Amino acid sequence: MCTTFHRTGQALPALRDVSFSVSQGEVLGLVGESGSGKSVTLRSIIGLARRYGNVTGQVRWQGRDLVGMPDRALRQIQGREIAMIFQEPMTSLNPLLTVGLQLEETLHAHTDLSKVARRDRAIEMLNLVGIPSAKQRLKDYPHQFSGGMRQRVMIAIALAATPKLLLADEPTTALDVTIQAQILDLILQLAQDMDMGVVLVTHDLGVVAQTCDNVAVMYAGRIVEQGPVRGVLKHPRHPYTVGLMRSVPENLPPRTSLYSVPGVPPSLDALPRGCAFAPRCAACVASCEQDRPPLSLITEGRQVACFNPVTNEQGNAA
Amino acid sequence: MSDAIFTPTQPTFMQRALRKPGFVAGLLIIGFSIMLAVFPGVFAPYDPNAIDYLALRQPPSWAHPFGTDLLGRDSLSRVIWAYQVNMQMAVFGTVFALVTGVIIGALVGYYRGIADLIFGRIVDAVITFPFLVLVIAVVAVLGPGLVNMYIAISVVYWVYYARLMRGEVIAQMGNDYAAAGIVMGYSDRRIIFRHLLPNAITPVIVYWMTDMALVILLGSSLGYLGLGAQPPQSEWGVLIAEGRNFISTAWWLSLMPGIAIVVTGLGFSLLGDGLADLLRPRG
């Protein structure tokens, strides 16, 4: 899948050759710096990106290709089979409608339930996501909820039509730490109960370690490494993954300066010819600046795009 | 879990409205204006068309607070009866433009693309043209009279509403709830009219209030020029035009309807300002 945005005649390749798969009940983590293309990936999958940009390639969903699908057909899948939740619970709900009406909106679009049945289902969903006195709260407006509660409402809306895949765009970033864990647990619990696949976008490797089955690391619009969480986090092979891991403060004595990957990601309109990470990479070899390393299978289930991958020993050291 | 949920009590819309003197004043003026427009017979002391040759061009007195005109008709009664025409202008001169403008603006703002480009050119064409000249041109083609004036104003004016609405809808599209509506598979119609439009319409409503004042002024101007309401119909512009030749001897003929225009315009402006304050989204 590739997504290109155009700005004043200039093509900005936001995503290039991104490819991954999620199966039922699987939780895939998508990590990377800001601007690495995580959110655009989700928006390309669900058909939001094509409103603003050019999405090419394929998004296979149960044997059908979503990229070329007409809007009308896509709408039958959006919300019903694939749902999405957003980062910012403050703006992802319509401020002028009660949460009850917004919940019913999903049911109205995707089910034949009667008005009464829709209301019952809305109450059921609010109970499911752990909102107390659900029946009374249906009549409340979004501003009467706290951030965490609002995100729960958002989850209830997204899951009301029992989708098979949930795209979660940094669902906990805007929440405070204690609430984050609750919301993640809720998502995972519901995913398990409903046998639903989840693509979880985050820049928090701690979250990935706790929640995901597989992880894909993105850099400058490409996947640079992917594989099972345990393997990738324990033995990162791509120098960028190693850098990301090192930037997570962990068991550091007080007053140690924090590690950060040196340099900044390249701008999308000036991507280097070779590996996009080469200018920031300590393990850069001559060929890195000439050619782009393809994403290749190195061991079972592990793919890395690097000419000079980190060996296990080095990975452990980092 | 008990039902003890903390919901902050906020002052209701009415409570907040009554704390704003400007808004209250605007509401009173416009409320009274509507009363005058709906029941002119109740408030007018005389028949506006009753001719009294014994009281020609009388200055204001207790019997005739606004004086009398060239035919001895009571000016106060004529100004009051004119409310009917001028308030009607405020409504019919704006409402068609409002409705079409809001719908077209919302659609263009949502779909963008080629329709938006065409719309942009229409806006350019209309706003570069002096509004009054444009309306006079349309009235000149259709012929004078109130209905033609409404048509002329609506044909031009929807563009202003649409432009405002388009901008607001585009701004609202930047909020995740719009994207959420799309990815949840809601129909375009529902997203536009149920989610975007109510969130985007506030500035349009405020603009509408000001616009009603402007349309009254425009209608009076056309009436003054003989292109709007036709004599002997009471209309402020027509009344001012009737007094034009006697401005030095019978000043009340033109001044009183002029004051009516100013007061009504002020009322709409205060109302619009107050609404802008009240409808502004809070925390």
State pLDDT tens for residues B141-151: 988 888 988 99
B35 located within any domain: no
The pLDDT > 90 percentage for chain B reads 45
Shortest distance between the Cα of B5 and any Cα of chain A, in A, equals: 9
Q: Do B185 and A133 touch (CB under 8 A)?
A: no
Q: In the structure encoding, which two tokens stand for residue A225, read together?
A: 């490494």
State pLDDT tens for residues B216-274: 999 999 899 888 888 778 899 999 998 888 888 888 899 999 999 999 999 999 999 89
Query: Does A140 reach chain B within 8 Å, measured CB to CB?
Result: yes
**Distance (Å, whole) CA A27 – CA A29:** 7
Which positions ≥6 away from B118 have C-beta within 8 Å?
none
CA B273, B277, B281: angle at the middle one, nearest 5? 145
Identify the residue among A105, A126, A149, A173 best suited for mutation to test binding to B, counting B beta carbons within 10 A and taking the highest: A105
Q: Do A133 and B199 touch (CB under 8 A)?
A: no
Residue A191 pLDDT exceeds 70: yes
B36 located within any domain: no
Residue B3 pLDDT exceeds 70: no
Which residues numbered 104-163 in B keep a CB inside 8 Å of some CB on A? none
Of A109, A136, A143, the CB nearest to B184: A109
Highest mean pLDDT: which of A199-208, A256-265, B190-199?
Answer: B190-199
User: Mean per-residue pLDDT for A5-15?
Assistant: 62
Shortest distance between the Cα of A292 and any Cα of chain B, in A, equals: 34
Domain that holds residue B201: 87-279
Query: Does B169 reach chain A within 8 Å, measured CB to CB?
Result: no
Q: Do A110 and B185 touch (CB under 8 A)?
A: yes
Shortest distance between the Cα of B199 and any Cα of chain A, in A, equals: 7
Give the per-residue pLDDT at A242.
86
B116 located within any domain: yes
Which residues numbered 170-209 in A keep a CB inside 8 Å of some CB on B? none
Residue A297 pLDDT exceeds 70: yes
Query: Does B202 reach chain A within 8 Å, measured CB to CB?
Result: no
For A101, nearest residue in chain B (alpha carbons): B194
Of A48, A79, A133, the CB nearest to B179: A48
Question: What global pTM score does this model have?
Answer: 0.82
Give the per-residue pLDDT at A312.
60
Give the per-residue pLDDT at B281.
61
Q: Is the dihedral of CA A76, A78, A82, A83 positive or negative?
A: negative
How many independent structural domains does chain B possess?
Answer: 1
| Whole-complex ipTM | 0.80
Q: Do A51 and B182 touch (CB under 8 A)?
A: yes
Query: Does A162 reach chain B within 8 Å, measured CB to CB?
Result: no
State pLDDT tens for residues A128-144: 888 888 888 999 999 88
Of B3, B177, B184, the CB nearest to A78: B184
Residue B5 pLDDT exceeds 70: no
Residue B2 pLDDT exceeds 50: no
Q: Do B176 and A106 touch (CB under 8 A)?
A: no
Q: Which residues of B touch A137 (CB under 8 A)?
A: 5
User: Mean per-residue pLDDT for B20-49?
Assistant: 91
B272 located within any domain: yes
Percent helix / strand / coil, chain B, rounded to 5? 70, 0, 25
Alpha carbon separation from B210 to A257, B70, B130, B265, B276 (Å, rounded): 59, 34, 19, 8, 11
Give the per-residue pLDDT at A2.
53
State pLDDT tens for residues A199-248: 999 888 888 888 899 999 988 888 888 899 888 888 888 888 888 888 87
Residue A316 pLDDT exceeds 80: no
Where residue A264 falls among pLDDT bands split at 50, 70, 90? Answer: confident
Shortest distance between the Cα of A315 and any Cα of chain B, in A, equals: 39
Shortest distance between the Cα of B186 and any Cα of chain A, in A, equals: 6
Of A43, A76, A132, the CB nearest to B1: A132
Q: Which residues of B touch A167 (CB under 8 A)?
A: 183
Alpha carbon separation from B84 to A138, B32, B65, B216 (Å, rounded): 45, 12, 20, 12
CATH assignment of the domain containing B273: 1.10.3720.10
Residue A5 pLDDT exceeds 60: no
State pLDDT tens for residues B92-119: 999 999 999 999 999 999 998 899 999 9
| Mean pLDDT, chain A, whole residue set | 84
For B199, nearest residue in chain A (alpha carbons): A96
Closest C-alpha to A132, from A155, A152, A161, A160: A152
Q: Which residues of A touch B182 (CB under 8 A)?
A: 47-48, 51, 78
Q: Do A96 and B177 touch (CB under 8 A)?
A: no
Q: Is the dihedral of CA A109, A111, A112, A114 positive or negative?
A: negative
Residue A317 pLDDT exceeds 50: no
